[in-house]
Amino acid sequence: MIAPASPADADARRRRRSRPPSGRTSLWKSRGALAAYVFILPYVLFFLVFRIAPALFAGVLSLGDWSLGGEFEFTGLDNYARLAEDDLFWNALRVTAVYTAIAIPLTIAMALAMAQLCNRMLRGMSFYRSIFFLPVVTSPVLSGIVWVWIFSPDGALNWSLDLFGVPSTNWLQSSFWVLPALALVSAWSNFGYDMLILLAGMLAIPQEYYEASHLDGAGPWQRFRHVTLPLLKPALFFVLVLETIRSFQVFDTIYVMTAGGPVRSSYSLTYLIYDQGFGYFEFGYASAAGVVLLLITLVFSLVQRRLIGKE
């Protein structure tokens, strides 16, 4: 006579029946992984072909002299030594630093103000969010042409200032005002994207924090300073790094509006790379300047992460 199974044995058999075979589990896992790889493969290929490969090729070009005929002559670090002795490079570096110091605070301040304005449950707010984002999807060339007219001596800006008795200024032909004018155009073009990032961060903040601070007697400014800003730190760090990279790599606005003038007052590093590479066909020298720009951007991003983005 067969002894009846114990409750423990019955539970063990039930678990074995309900558990799928290990081979089937690994098969489904592999299929899911394969599907994920298929979906991300186009972006990975695009990134490798149009980002990584040109960067590596530029690093190779910076160590030699490449003619239009395709002949490459290895020269070592001669291009970097030439950069260190070139006054044009140091002027471009100074212009880039000044432009970045103006554009980053201006863009982030505009984005933060607009995000705070859009973080309200008002009628038609989705329409205003779309309007604020419109400059992001506008062609930089078209925007530059419009802003050239705005900053012209007979443009809309000088006409508006004349109403208040302020004398007219040729903004884009002034060595002092050209970089602030370009920074304003850049802030107008980019603040919409940063605004969406900051707005998403604001919407993720629990309302309990605002309610508690309101019960403690905190006003709107105090709630913004002690609740919004600290909890918005990750989004602010991302926007700061993004704007740093954009400011160091600014080109289209300068190309359309000033072409590096007047007297190289807006001759940035990226414009130097373009000018030396496609104007004078100094591809090795331009590549060396591009490598230096990459290193500068990387160092600034790491410093920013060290100071404010460590968390």
Tens digits of residue pLDDT in 3-42 = 555 555 555 555 555 555 444 445 445 677 788 888 899 9
State the pLDDT at residue 218.
84
pLDDT confidence band for 128 (50 / 70 / 90): confident
What gap in Å lies between CA 292 and CA 275, rounded to an integer?
A: 16
What gap in Å lies between CA 126 and CA 231, rounded to an integer?
A: 24
264 CB-contact burial (10 Å; exposed 0-12 / middle 13-18 / buried 19+): middle
Q: Using alpha carbons, select from 265, 268, 289 the residue that is nearest to residue 277.
A: 289
What gap in Å lies between CA 233 and CA 239, rounded to an integer?
A: 10
Q: How much is the average pLDDT of 236-245?
A: 91
- Residue 65 CA, distance from chain mean position: 31
- Length of the chain as a residue count: 311
Q: Dihedral through CA 298, CA 304, CA 310, CA 311, nearest 10?
A: -120
How many CB atoms sit inside 10 A of residue 129's CB? 17
Strand partners, 72: 66
Res. 159: pLDDT tops 70: yes
Contact yes or no for 75/65 (Cβ under 8 A): yes
Q: What pTM was computed for the model?
A: 0.83
Instruction: Tell me the one-letter amino acid at 221.
Output: W
What is the dihedral sign for C-alpha 295, 298, 302, 303? positive
Percent of the chain with pLDDT over 70: 88
Looking at every residue in the chain, the average pLDDT score rounds to 86
What gap in Å lies between CA 46 and CA 273, rounded to an integer?
A: 23
- Looking at the chain, which runs of residues are DSSP E strands? 64-66, 72-74
State the pLDDT at residue 7.
52
Res. 190: pLDDT tops 70: yes
Res. 210: pLDDT tops 50: yes
State the pLDDT at residue 27.
47
How many CB atoms sit inside 10 A of residue 226's CB? 14
Q: How much is the average pLDDT of 201-208?
A: 90
54-71 pLDDT, tens per residue? 889 999 999 998 877 778
Alpha-carbon separation of residue 87 from 31, 98, 263, 272 (angstroms): 58, 16, 14, 12
3-state secondary structure of 170: coil
Q: How much is the average pLDDT of 166-172?
A: 89
